[in-house]
Structure 1
Amino acid sequence: MRKSGGLALVRRIGRRVEALARRARRSPRVAFLALLLMSLVFTLGSLALPGFVPASLLVVPLLLGGLLLRFRQLVALSVLTLIFGVYVVVLRSPVLPRTGFVLVLALVAWIVLTSAKVRNRLGVPGTRGESMLMELRDTLTAQGELPTLPPGWRVESAIQSAGGSTFSGDFVVSTVHDDVLEVALVDVSGKGIDAGTRALLLSGAFGGLLGVVPEEEFLSSANRYLRRQDWDDDFATVVHVVIDLRTGEFDVRTAGHPPAIQFDAWSGRWQTRDADGPLLGLVESPEFEVNRGQLKQGDALFLYSDGMVETPRQDIGRGTDRLAGHAERLVAQGFKGAAQELVASAGGPGDDSAIVIIHRQAHA
């Protein structure tokens, strides 16, 4: 009974601490008063019970303040904490090295203030800036979710960011309307988190264009939008495919992007679907060629970014052959799970990698 009562007490304390933490995040003023009180308690405790309350605990309010407070409040807390620290070492000079302790406390305050100053530019205190980045990442991921296709069709995608970052300059947008599937794989200049913010902006815009503008005008409309952003030398490459899910007929258009490749189930051969077009954002009124084909039962169409096929030591042509060789081994399993497997095996570690596989199954 005593054990269960002790656990209940710990849980109640934990819930109250969590409630206080949530309230502190919502109200920086409450957090400031609580941390100031904490500094005062540590100061008095260090003077009254030096053997049990070390003066180094004054670092704790500074670190918590860097996570919870606004910049001006953090400055005030840092100044007051330094004053408390000086007061402690003056009264405990035989025990504490004065200069060393104050310098360490000042160094911690400077590090915390420097980090908070960067976050202050966003106008959000503490960890809310990181929370916003996580929400933006989740939004980009959600916008890349592929639609559910009718029986006999399967589509899957996989994206791998350079350097293990959760942000990527590659993204996918898609839609289904009137038994027509539209998919666009976009590669924004740059990689990792540097390109992630631009990718987020473009994913919303390009996703809004799909199914709204005529299929043949999608790349031109996307180019006009990108030109209006005035991003200096930044650009984007796109491969855009439109598939009639009733007949399997498709159109492929590219804007400076590696060509799509088609697997022919009847012959077992791989065919490159070239469609020349300039990079998006660099030309005022570009023209985009179209490559038409048909997916028969068992056929598959692969869209991929240059991170899947291009390396410093080989050109895109050889990289495409290498990708087809990797994919050849997955024919027997009907390309199920092939997107993730190909990104892991063929994707370049130094660049963002993405692939979309559209498969018309042999048996619906």
Structure 2
Amino acid sequence: MPGLPADVPVPGGGHLRARWRFLRSDTGLTVLLGASSIALVACVALFPQDFPVTPLMVPLLLGTLLLSRARMVGFAIFTILCLTAATILQQTYELRIVAALGVMYAVCLAVVVTGRRARLGVGRLQGESMLVDLRDRILAQAEIPPLPEEWLVESALSSAGGSPFAGDFVVATRRHLGRKLEVVMVDVSGKGERAGTRALQLSGAMSGLIGALPAAEFLPAANEYLLQREWEEGFATAVQLSLDLETGSFEVRTAGHPPAVQRHAGSGRWEPLRTEGPVLGLVPDLVYTPIRGRLDAGDSLLLYTDGMVERPRRDIELGIDAMLGAAERLLIKRSWDRFADRLVSSVGSPDDDRALLVVHRRLG
């Protein structure tokens, strides 16, 4: 029973919980909405001159939101019958009432037609809840595991048009007794909702691969996975970082992705780490050559997707320069804290998905 601790006995509590579960089920909701419709018809029968028939649309509206497809179609037909009974009982056929009834019948028929064509077998609110859960799973996989105090790692994501779904995602884990941080940033072909479903499936697969395979085998395995899916738009770009949290040594591998960028604290210079690697999902049996480096105290590394640097009719190198210029201005004004969110908000195209990962080794 909601609101009561689990260890407090409630007289008849088992029956109350069972009734509550029944009312929340598809069958229980159908019974409750059907009873409401019958009660409204009874009100029309008792007060034919005073009680309108239009309130019958309220249970129908709730049914379209809460009931499964099969139940919704059946309930819409039941509403048509209730509407017919209420019309006969009311015995008033003025022009405005006839027009209102016509609109109500049309709404009921529209619910029947759209319900038969629906592709999901769940209610609209249930479907939305499922999509929100899927989105949260993508975001949860991008959470950075706890790191030593000297390391600051942040990620930020902004989808095209402000949609909650995106084709860019990040997967991260720690390996070798927590000594190494493994991160991969992926940009699935397409953007927004169109790429969101593919991103969900791919992020789940990559989450398993990155924790199970050596760093050198991860991108070839991801490439093979995409080839097996045979999606119509089945390619993706990726950048992979393998970082030793004790020494600061790292390896970066890319698959058709914009180069990672390292900032050297001593000189304040940004250095693109260019490494070649084909796009994932197009050609089998590939090898991805790493570029190696080291993050000393104060150094930083940026991983990002092309939405941060690409715009129509502009060379990507100019986009990278623009991003690094904005990054340097942000660092002059403020520290590295929340740097990823601030940089994603200030650069890139709002019509494309954007993702950024910042790795910073704090001084002393």
Shared fold by TM > 0.5?
A: yes
Structure-1 residue corresponding to 2:15: none
Structure-1 residue corresponding to 2:39: 41
Change (3 A) 1:250 1:170: same
Structure-2 residue corresponding to 1:66: 64
Q: Counterparts of 1:361 and 1:71 in 2: how far apart (Å)?
A: 55
Change (3 A) 1:346 1:126: closer
Deviation, structure 1 residue 127: 2.4
Tell me if the contact between 2:73 and 2:111 (Cα under 8 Å) persists in the aligned partners: no
TM-score, scaled relative to structure 2: 0.88
Structure-2 residue corresponding to 1:241: 241
Deviation, structure 1 residue 361: 1.0
Structure-2 residue corresponding to 1:154: 152
1:308-332: CA deviations, max 9, x gaps? 1111132211111011011102334
1:153-211: CA deviations, max 9, x gaps? 11000001111111111110111223111110001111112111111111111111113
Q: Counterparts of 1:46 and 1:21 in 2: how far apart (Å)?
A: 30
* Match 1:83 to one of 81, 95, 102: 81
Q: Counterparts of 1:94 and 1:231 in 2: how far apart (Å)?
A: 58
1:228-258: CA deviations, max 9, x gaps? 1111332111000111122212111100111
Q: Counterparts of 1:117 and 1:49 in 2: how far apart (Å)?
A: 35
Structure-2 residue corresponding to 1:276: 276
Residue 329 of structure 1 aligns to a residue whose secondary structure is helix
Deviation, structure 1 residue 51: 5.8
Structure-1 residue corresponding to 2:351: 350
Q: Which residue identity lines up with residue 37 of structure 2 in the other structure?
A: S
Tell me if the contact between 2:226 and 2:234 (Cα under 8 Å) persists in the aligned partners: no
Residue 239 of structure 2 aligns to a residue whose secondary structure is strand
Within the alignment, does 1:291 sit opposite 2:288 as a pair? no
Structure-2 residue corresponding to 1:216: 216
Residue 354 of structure 1 aligns to a residue whose secondary structure is strand
Within the alignment, does 1:197 sit opposite 2:197 as a pair? yes
Deviates more, 1:108-117 or 1:164-173: 108-117
- Number of residues of Structure 1 aligned to a counterpart in Structure 2: 344
1:18-74: CA deviations, max 9, x gaps? x98864332x22222222221122122124325653211111111111123233332
Deviates more, 1:90-99 or 1:320-329: 90-99
Change (3 A) 1:327 1:38: same
What value does the CA root-mean-square deviation take over the aligned residues? 2.2
Within the alignment, does 1:92 sit opposite 2:87 as a pair? no
Change (3 A) 1:117 1:328: farther
Tell me if the contact between 1:183 and 1:242 (Cα under 8 Å) persists in the aligned partners: yes
Tell me if the contact between 2:154 and 2:357 (Cα under 8 Å) persists in the aligned partners: yes
Q: Counterparts of 2:249 and 2:203 in 1: how far apart (Å)?
A: 26
Gaps of 5+ in 2: 1-17
Within the alignment, does 1:128 sit opposite 2:126 as a pair? yes
Tell me if the contact between 1:82 and 1:102 (Cα under 8 Å) persists in the aligned partners: no
Q: Which residue identity lines up with residue 187 of structure 2 in the other structure?
A: D
Structure-1 residue corresponding to 2:27: 29
Percent pairwise identity? 45
